[in-house]
Amino acid sequence: MAPQLRLNAVAFISPQNQPILIRTFGKQSHPIKYHYIAHTSLDVIEERGEFHRPIQSFSTCNVDPIVQAAGKTAECYLGLLYTMEDVAVYGYITPLKVKIVVALALSDAVVRDLDVITIFKALHMAYYNAISNPFLRLETAHDGTNEHSPYLLLSGSKWQTFKRRVDDISRLVGSAA
């Protein structure tokens, strides 16, 4: 029987390391804590060199056979980044270098990589569906600088479907047995 996973927070981070969305779940959630976790995760990803190395094929990687069965997603999966207080932080990088960070509640049960990869696949598809919407414009700053992210206007009403999908995934993860 699979352990009961509980999603505390999800962070989507742009290739320029700017937050796209940081969503917290639960009554005891502290948004600042999860912003810190998201930024610390970026440091861990860069420190490991995972972000800068080319994606290797399975023949040259030491990948668990169960993770290998998950297909190309395993190439993007970074695994457990670190644990902090009451959360375990996992990382994932999409082919377009968008980083997804998940904070799961720590428990005594063993968390299988396949379960976490499934969560990341669902989150990645939610993001992909959101940016694939031809009616959703990524509005950029008009002052000519590259410092502003087109994702800063994520709070607009057009992104509500994406936020709802992330919330639905969190509920499904929490209700799965």
pLDDT along the chain (177 residues), means of 10: 77 91 81 90 80 43 45 73 91 91 88 91 92 68 48 60 88 73
CA distance 155 to 158: 8
Contact between 24 and 166 under an 8 Å Cβ cutoff? The reply is no
Q: Can you give the pLDDT at residue 62?
A: 40
Q: Can you give the pLDDT at residue 155?
A: 57
Contact between 34 and 103 under an 8 Å Cβ cutoff? The reply is yes
b/e 134-155 (16+ beta carbons within 10 angstroms → b):
eeeeeeeeeeeeeebbebbebe
Which stretches of 49-112 are DSSP H helices?
65-68, 73-76
Q: For strand 87-93 and strand 77-84, is the pairing parallel, antiparallel, or unpaired?
A: antiparallel
Q: Can you give the pLDDT at residue 29?
A: 66
Q: Can you give the pLDDT at residue 138?
A: 57
Short-list 93, 98, 76, CA closest to 149: 98
**Topology (CATH) of 7-175:** Beta-Lactamase (3.30.450)
Residues composing the chain: 177
One-letter amino acid at 164 equals R
Q: Can you give the pLDDT at residue 159?
A: 77
- Kindly state the DSSP code that residue 57 receives in the 8-state scheme: P
CA distance 68 to 157: 38
pTM of this structure: 0.76
CA atoms within 13 A on the CB side of 108: 0
CA distance 4 to 145: 46
